[in-house]
Amino acid sequence: MIRRTSQRRLEFESLESMELLSGVGLIPSHAMADHHTSHQASRALVAGESLVLSGVVNGRYHVVGKTAAAFNGRGVLSQVGKTQLRGKIELASPASGQLILSFGRRGKLFVDVTSATLGGASTYQIAYQITGGTRSFAGDTGGGVATVQIPGLRPRGHFTLSL
């Protein structure tokens, strides 16, 4: 049996003599990179813009001092995905606190609690302001009101944070 062998050579055609017919549909390379990055991070917003948080975080808390609570929990927020929450909120007047929302390799969001009011027997309404972040959240801002449910404020327990 005889085998046929062929050798193939790559040939390149010169583009110098060709003329671009239209610029319609061309996307600059930096725009494509930004588009690809935003989809990889699964968030629709661009870093540095106002961010609206919506979702639920559940976890555990413990009382620090007489009127503050330290929080540690996990949840899912729309537009940004799975998160881990850590932080401390002073529940007495004047209420204040800081929370950190971690999104793994995508970065962190830093949140200041500006007020907290008791809404019901075990529900606090807190006003928050996003002060910045890291990586894909660098420069993000925003704010809103969240509800923290703490069934019977004890030295330790479970909480639900709804944004």
28 belongs to a structural domain = no
pLDDT grade for 121, boundaries at 50, 70 and 90 = confident
> pTM value?
0.70
Question: What residue numbers bound the domain in which 110 lies?
Answer: 55-162
Q: Total domain count for the chain?
A: 1
CA distances from residue 134 to 92, 109, 131 in whole angstroms, order as listed = 30, 7, 11
120 falls within a domain: yes
Rounded to the nearest 10°, the torsion over CA 30, 34, 39, 40 is 90
The pLDDT value recorded for residue 8 is 57
Query: Within a domain: residue 87?
Result: yes
Task: Assess if residue 72 is contained within a domain.
Answer: yes
User: 150 burial class (0-12, 13-18, 19+ CB within 10 angstroms)?
Assistant: buried
The first and second tokens of residue 111, run together, are 């949140």
pLDDT tens digits, 60-106? 999 998 889 999 999 999 988 999 999 999 988 888 999 999 999 99
* Alpha-carbon span 101 to 1, nearest angstrom: 70
pLDDT tens, position by position, 33-61: 443 333 334 444 566 678 889 999 999 99
- Is 10 part of a structural domain of the chain? no
pLDDT, mean over the chain: 79
Whether residue 114 is contained in a domain is answered as yes
Query: Quick check: is 46 in a domain?
Result: no
Residue 116 lies in a domain: yes
